[in-house]
Amino acid sequence: MNASFPLLFAAVLFCIGVYGVLSRRNAVMVLMSVELMIAAVTINLVTFGAIAPVVQREHVGQVFALFVLAIGAAEVGIGLAIVLLLYRNRASVNIDDADLMKY
């Protein structure tokens, strides 16, 4: 398989994630966009792990991808807890409302 195809797919996912983070205000939408970016990084790790011979023998790329998977799951849990708290205190999930530490 041509190595540029999965890398290009990862680039597409990452850039769509960047666009989502920048353009949406709903905090849950921002979390979902971050998930897309994490998935893109995981694809890159596995692809580079499959390209490099030494790395491929020890499966380092897949081990790291597994770690990223677990950390991404934890990030979603914490992120949704924060969104829940934000909604309870501000009655809104608009991230523009969470500007207490901005100035």
Partner 1 sequence: MLSIQDVAMLGVAVIGGGAALLVVMSRNVVHSALYLVIALLSVAGTFLLLGAEFLAWAQVLVYVGAVVVLILFGLMLTRAPIGPMPQESDVGPWFPLVPAGGLFAVLAYLTFTQFGDQRIDLTVVRTSALGEQIYVAWAFPFMVLGFFLTVALIGAVVIARREEGEGPISAEERETLEPTYTDATSRPGRVSPHGGARDAVDTSGTEGPVPDEVRS
Minimum distance from CB of 103 to partner 1 (Å)?
7
Minimum distance from CB of 52 to partner 1 (Å)?
10
Q: Which is nearer to partner 1, 8 or 54 (CB)?
A: 8
> What is the C-alpha to C-alpha distance for residues 63 and 89, in angstroms, rounded to an integer?
40
- Whole-Å CA distances, 8 to 4, 17, 18: 6, 14, 15
Q: Which is nearer to partner 1, 54 or 70 (CB)?
A: 70
Minimum distance from CB of 34 to partner 1 (Å)?
11
Q: Which is nearer to partner 1, 54 or 78 (CB)?
A: 78
Minimum distance from CB of 54 to partner 1 (Å)?
13
Q: Is the separation of the CB atoms in 25 and 13 below 8 Å?
A: no
Angle at which helices 60-90 and 27-51 cross, to 10°:
180
Size of the chain, expressed as the number of residues it contains: 103
Q: Which is nearer to partner 1, 9 or 54 (CB)?
A: 9
